[in-house]
Amino acid sequence: MSIKRRQFITTCGLATLATQIPPVIVQGQVSPNTILKPPRLQVGDTVGLIAPAGVVNAEDIAAAKKAITELGLKVKIGAHILDRYGYLAGTDADRAQDVNAMFLDRSVKAIMTMRGGWGCNRILPLLNYNLIRSHPKILMGYSDITSLVLAIYARSRVMTFHGPNATSVWNEFTVDYVKRILFNAEAVTMENFATSEAMSTTGYAYAPGKARGKLIGGNLSVLSAMVGSPYLPSWYKSILFIEDINEDVYRVDRMFTQLKNAGILNQLSGLIFGQCTNCSLGDEPSFALMQVLKDHILPLSIPAWYGSMIGHIKDKFTLPIGAEVEIDADAGTIRLLEAAVS
């Protein structure tokens, strides 16, 4: 083997290991197992805007900048945000580069994603998780961004946020939770209000009661596609929240079965299904969605309900991934037991 080839292989190997090996513990530093809370947002801070999944356009960016500046924040655009590679917003390497660069950039205090779609799973091996842990920042998004918020929480041990994308509807309900959780560092109680987007004020309880645990979850189809990868956190005694859109009921059944067979469901303390937006029975004979959920949830004997304001809807909670919470299935509430930002 030539010296140049040996040097190339060594360099590539070290680059790969840098994303896999936890930080070395130095006396006086926090343990690598400690979950870090990112600094809270303040008016005047700069937010990095990236497109790690589906394609966006200039109109999307203009609308996102308007919504973010109305929060009193400044905007810095990712270098590859307008790139296009098929149905992706640029190549995997370039989209990952924008994520890593925003965490490294000291002028950027938080990172928001433009939209979901598909693509975040593809860049997970290319993220520098040690770098991210060394520069903890708010990262927020939902749908396909589930991959990023779960992987960074699991591998970097930094609290992330399942909440609105930059192109979401930033209405009073959504903005209120963003401000209270990300700006004010409040340990809020998230509670539905009567709306056509929810089944009722509290939703539908499958199993009553209260439960405590770390809040973990996201889009059901994205999460189930991550099963078996090294990018998911421990599920032991956690509170799982899930949501989805445009899925036939049999597919929801299939994905729940995958979580069950992977040993995830039987580790949970509680379960919240937000909204299954535009989920249909399909063309074949089918169970109703509620029957499928009942079949999977009731045997778990844990507090659980359907109808929380989570998912592809206008009114959204901001959910801190990794925060200690208490849920009440009867009331349909999620109570933070700690602030999610420092």
> For residue 179, what are the contacts with CB-CB under 8 A and spacing of at least 6?
71
Q: In this structure, what are the phi and psi dihedrals at residue 289, rounded to the nearest 5 degrees?
A: -55, -40
CA distance 74 to 65: 8
Q: What are the pLDDT digits (tens) for 68-96? A: 999 999 999 999 999 999 999 999 999 99
Residue 337, pLDDT above cutoff 50: yes
Instruction: Report the topology of domain 189-336.
Output: Glucose Oxidase; domain 1 (3.50.30)
Average pLDDT, the chain: 90
The pLDDT value recorded for residue 32 is: 77
Listed by start position, the domains of the chain span 46-170, 189-336
CA distance 95 to 51: 7
**135 is annotated as an active-site residue:** no
Residue from 101, 123, 150 nearest 54 by CA: 123
CA distance 214 to 322: 5
Q: In this structure, what are the phi and psi dihedrals at residue 278, rounded to the nearest 5 degrees?
A: 55, 35
Q: Which is catalytic among the residues 143, 156, 224, 238?
A: 143
Q: Which is catalytic among the residues 80, 243, 269, 296?
A: 243
Q: What are the pLDDT digits (tens) for 270-315? A: 999 999 999 988 776 678 999 999 999 999 999 999 999 999 999 9
pLDDT band at 168 (very low <50, low <70, confident <90, very high): very high
Alpha carbon distances (Å) from 78 to 44, 132, 290, 341: 19, 16, 41, 24
Q: Which is catalytic among the residues 147, 156, 312, 326?
A: 312
More confident residue, 127 or 289: 127
Q: Is 339 left (phi over 0), alpha (psi -120 to 50) or beta?
A: beta
Question: Domain 46-170's class?
Answer: alpha beta
User: Global pTM?
Assistant: 0.89
CA distance 124 to 230: 10
Residue 110, pLDDT above cutoff 80: yes
**243 is annotated as an active-site residue:** yes
**328: helix, strand or coil:** strand
Tokens of 265: 């469901």
Half-sphere exposure of 30 (CA within 13 A, CB side): 11
**10: helix, strand or coil:** helix
> For residue 320, what are the contacts with CB-CB under 8 A and spacing of at least 6?
159, 160, 161, 181, 215, 336, 340
**197 is annotated as an active-site residue:** no
